[in-house]
């Protein structure tokens, strides 16, 4: 006590923060649950999501009905069989193929009618009928695109074989930038990191501060000479370190386990991740300060952070196609900005035109959440 009176205010503050930091770190080390949330949860979630979520339709079971065979239908079947997208199942009749479509055994049916070969060179041309199961609209659209691609390839082959010119007037040359192989995992896994870190950041702090309120130790802390900012800082730093640990783990898994290319710089990624983690931890702090109860805090953390991050961040569903009102809402979802940064730095590289504005938005949100938390904590004192 005597020593303290002779201390300068700044060194006293350093000591207070140092003491608080030690207390928080000890608490983390003694209760393994936060370490589990920071390191085990990301690994488990990334494994489940990374292997469970994919939009790449490969080897789609497809019934092929050839009502009367000829050399042309054979070349058609051979051309389609080469495509990696179809698992062709020759089916005798149209009825059988349609029954298989209804029962879900096949996702699409291709029918070459009995007059196919005869009508090939008539003015109207021969129809190739494609019936897709539209229940899953996305897969149905992808399938239609694949069939169209295979159809064009077959036409070219046919024109070579038969020695006639069938070149279409215009040909599209698609160049898919950043992901030439169009692997959905390459964009899903970076997005998943944002979703998982949203959940973990919020869960880490929301449960912890709520516990202090619940046990009454928060009041005890607030009557010490520690200021609110110092208290929040001491709460933030250890969980920030834990969260960054989880983040690094996720990035390493993405690169080594899921083979996602990383074209940006780790420096930019670290800076953006720090800002995002501050936002997520700030959200957790706010949730716990408002709810003051571990049960409610955990519930809110899952509902407010996880679900919106999954649906409204643009990680899987395209934001531009959402209704206008919903698009506005996405602007308050922190994960939205982080998903954009992650997808860009993994697939495209350090594109500052993307990274800087999104990082600024994250910084703004971090300041907002931490500021509100500080005010709410002060209010609780009165």
Partner 1 sequence: MWQKIRALVVKELLAVWKDPRSRFVLIGPPIIQLLVFGYAATYDLVDVPIAFYVEDSGGDARDLVARFAGSPIFRPTANLERQSDIARVIDSREVSLVLHIGQNFSRDLAVSQPARVQLIVDGRNSNTALILTGYANTIVRDFNLEWLRQKGERLPPASLVVRSWFNPNLQSRWFIVPGIVALLSLVVTLVVTALSVARERELGTFDQLLVTPLSTAQILLGKSLAPLLIGLVEGTVIVAAAVLWFGVPFLGSLALLYVGLILFLLAVIGVGLTISSLVRTQQQAILGAFLFLVPAVILSGFATPIANMSPAVQPITLINPMRYFLVIVRGLFIQGMSAELVAQQLWPLALIAVVSLTIAGRLFRSRLS
Q: Pick out residues in 214-243 that bind partner 1 (CB under 8 A).
A: none
Compute how many residues bind partner 1; rule: CB under 8 A: 97
Put residue 46 in one of left, alpha, beta given phi > 0 → left and psi -120 to 50 → alpha.
Answer: alpha
**Shortest Å, Cβ 305 to partner 1:** 12
- Rounded Cα gap, residues 209 and 202, in angstroms: 11
Question: Residue 178, interface with partner 1 (CB under 8 A)?
Answer: yes
- Rounded Cα gap, residues 155 and 79, in angstroms: 10
Residue among 10 and 135 whose Cβ is closer to partner 1: 135
**Shortest Å, Cβ 182 to partner 1:** 4
Contacts with partner 1 in 278-297 (CB under 8 A)?
A: 294-296
Confirm if 239 and 34 have CB atoms less than 8 A apart. yes
**Shortest Å, Cβ 189 to partner 1:** 12
Angle at the Cα of 153 from the Cα atoms of 147 and 159, rounded to 5 degrees: 135
Residue among 8 and 177 whose Cβ is closer to partner 1: 177
- Rounded Cα gap, residues 335 and 84, in angstroms: 35
Residue among 262 and 367 whose Cβ is closer to partner 1: 262
**Shortest Å, Cβ 21 to partner 1:** 26
Residue among 187 and 240 whose Cβ is closer to partner 1: 187
What sections of 257-333 are H helices per DSSP? 266-291, 294-300, 307-312, 324-330
Question: Residue 246, interface with partner 1 (CB under 8 A)?
Answer: no
Residue among 237 and 322 whose Cβ is closer to partner 1: 322
Exposure letters 238-270 (e unless 16+ CB within 10 A, then b): bbbebbbebbebbbebbeeebebbeebeeebbe
- Residue closest to 373 by CA, chosen among 305, 291, 316, 290: 290
**Shortest Å, Cβ 51 to partner 1:** 4
Contacts with partner 1 in 116-145 (CB under 8 A)?
A: 116, 120-121, 123-142, 144-145
Binding residue for partner 1, selected from 1, 10, 30, 177, defined by CB under 8 A? 177
**Shortest Å, Cβ 229 to partner 1:** 29
Residue among 10 and 167 whose Cβ is closer to partner 1: 167
Contacts with partner 1 in 44-103 (CB under 8 A)?
A: 45, 48-49, 51-58, 60, 101-103
**Shortest Å, Cβ 228 to partner 1:** 27
The interface mask with partner 1, positions 15-54, x = CB under 8 A, is ------------------------------x--xx-xxxx
CA atoms within 13 A on the CB side of 367: 6
Sequence-ordered list of residues with C-beta below 8 angstroms from that of 345, at least 6 positions apart, any chain: 190, 262, 263, 264, 265, 268, 269, 272, 355
Residue among 231 and 253 whose Cβ is closer to partner 1: 253
Cα dihedral 318, 323, 328, 334 sign = negative
The interface mask with partner 1, positions 309-338, x = CB under 8 A, is --xx-x-xxx-xxxx--x------------
């Amino acid at each position: 006590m005597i020593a303290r009176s002779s201390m300068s205010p700044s060194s006293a503050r350093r000591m207070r923060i140092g003491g608080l930091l030690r207390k928080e770190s000890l608490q983390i080390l003694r209760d393994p649950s936060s370490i589990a949330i920071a390191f085990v949860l990301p690994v488990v979630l990334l494994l489940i999501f990374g292997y469970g979520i994919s939009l790449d339709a490969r080897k789609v079971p497809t019934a092929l009905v050839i009502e009367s065979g000829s050399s042309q239908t054979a070349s058609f079947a051979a051309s389609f069989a080469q495509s990696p997208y179809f698992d062709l199942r020759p089916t005798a009749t149209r009825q059988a193929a349609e029954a298989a479509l209804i029962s879900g055994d096949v996702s699409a049916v291709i029918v070459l009618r009995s007059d196919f070969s005869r009508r090939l060179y008539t003015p109207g041309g021969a129809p190739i009928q494609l019936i897709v199961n539209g229940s899953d609209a996305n897969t149905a659209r992808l399938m239609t695109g694949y069939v169209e691609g295979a159809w064009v390839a077959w036409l070219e082959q046919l024109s070579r074989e038969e020695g006639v010119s069938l070149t279409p007037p215009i040909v599209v040359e698609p160049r898919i930038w950043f992901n030439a192989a169009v692997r959905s995992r390459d964009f899903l896994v970076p997005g998943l990191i944002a979703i998982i870190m949203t959940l973990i950041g919020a869960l880490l702090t929301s449960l912890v501060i709520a516990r202090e309120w619940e046990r009454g130790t928060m009041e005890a802390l607030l009557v010490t000479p520690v200021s609110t900012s110092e208290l929040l800082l001491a709460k933030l730093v250890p969980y920030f370190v834990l969260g960054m640990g989880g983040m690094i783990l996720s990035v390493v898994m993405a690169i080594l386990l899921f083979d996602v290319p990383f074209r940006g710089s780790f420096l930019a990624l670290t800076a953006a991740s720090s800002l995002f983690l501050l936002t997520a931890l700030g959200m957790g702090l706010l949730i716990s300060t408002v709810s003051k109860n571990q049960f409610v805090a955990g519930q809110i953390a899952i509902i407010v952070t996880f679900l919106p991050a999954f649906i409204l961040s643009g990680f899987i569903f395209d934001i531009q196609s959402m209704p206008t009102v919903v698009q506005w809402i996405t602007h308050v979802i922190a994960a939205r900005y982080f998903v954009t940064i992650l997808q860009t730095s993994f697939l495209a590289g350090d594109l500052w035109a993307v990274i800087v504005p999104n990082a600024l938005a994250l910084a703004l949100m971090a300041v907002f959440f931490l500021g509100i938390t500080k005010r709410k904590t002060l209010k609780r004192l009165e």
